[in-house]
Amino acid sequence: MVTNTNFLITFPNALFLYDYKGKSCGPPELGEYSTIVNINSTRFEGTVQYQCMPGYETSDPVICTCNASGMYDVGAPNCTSMYCGSVGDPYGMWETLIVP
């Protein structure tokens, strides 16, 4: 993260000290089945950290960063339900119910 955002702009007859804070990216989006666990800033180089709700997972990035143009580099992750496999009939006790 940039810690010193002050810099000098010089012209032939002028000197300016510019404090660059960057544009705000605004509130981060919230994806379906995701939650925000940390926001350190919504301004330039600020980050937002997401996690999926219990029972959901993602392969998307879970940290997004606010860039200088006022946009997050990635959106909220796409969380999908976990596949736990088939339960099956481990004891052979399930029967097919036939209704006439």
Per-residue pLDDT reduced to its tens digit, 52-65: 999 999 998 899 99
Q: Per-residue pLDDT for 15 more than 50?
A: no
pLDDT tens-digit series, residues 24-38: 899 999 889 999 999
Which pLDDT score is estimated for 64?
95
Determine the pLDDT at residue 6: 47
Sorted by where each begins, the domain ranges of the chain are 22-81
The predicted pLDDT at position 84 comes to 72
The span from the CA of 39 to the CA of 50, in Å, is 9
**Superfamily of the domain at 22-81:** Complement Module, domain 1 (2.10.70.10)
